[in-house]
Amino acid sequence: MEKKLILYVEDDSMMHSLLKFILCDICILEVCSSPDEFFEKYMNIPYSLFIMDIGFKNSNTNGIELSQEIKKMKLHKNTPIVAFTAYSMGYIRENVNQAKEMGIFEEILTKPFENLEYFRNTILKYLQ
């Protein structure tokens, strides 16, 4: 099977390395550190999946807002987006869940990994 291209939008470089290691056998993982970098470098690349962090330290845009913008783009309107977040505070969790109900996210996965096999299987599901 040909490896599909995924973009991981995350501002933590340690998470970049970890996900590249975890997913290296099932996809080609590119990483992007901010919403601004996405618009500068990555918005015109046809990805098979986005993995999206929710909070970015040095940005006024969060992962929910960036995902909404991505879904408006003709190239990406049908590209699945998986939220991958450590935020478990009530109001943030509620916002992420609402975004999923609105069709912005197909799935919500939490950091740290609760189950590595479940994480990998979820990513594979959206690469079929």
Residue-wise pLDDT for 16-54, tens only, equals 999 999 999 999 999 999 999 999 999 999 999 999 999
Give the pLDDT confidence score for residue 90 in this predicted structure: 64
CA 116 vs CA 54, 75, 82, 113: distances in Å: 20, 30, 15, 6
Query: Tell me, what's the pLDDT at 86?
Result: 81
Cα maximum dimension of the chain = 40
Q: What is the mean pLDDT of residues 7-21?
A: 95
Q: Is residue 17 within a helix (H) or strand (E), and if so which, with residue range?
A: helix 13-23
Inter-CA distances, 75 with 32, 42, 47, 53, 69, Å: 18, 12, 9, 21, 12
Query: Above 80 in pLDDT, residue 1?
Result: no
Count of residues making up the chain: 128
Check whether domain 4-125 has CATH 3.40.50.2300, yes or no: yes
Boundaries of every domain in the chain: 4-125
Q: Please report the pLDDT score of residue 89 as a whole number.
A: 61
Is pTM beyond 0.85? Reply is yes
Tens of pLDDT, residues 64-116 = 999 999 999 999 999 999 999 886 666 677 888 889 989 999 999 988 877 89
Q: What is the pLDDT of residue 88?
A: 62
Tell whether the model's pLDDT for residue 118 goes beyond 90: yes
Question: Computed from CA positions of residues 31, 37, 48, 80, in that sequence, does the dihedral angle turn out positive or negative?
Answer: positive
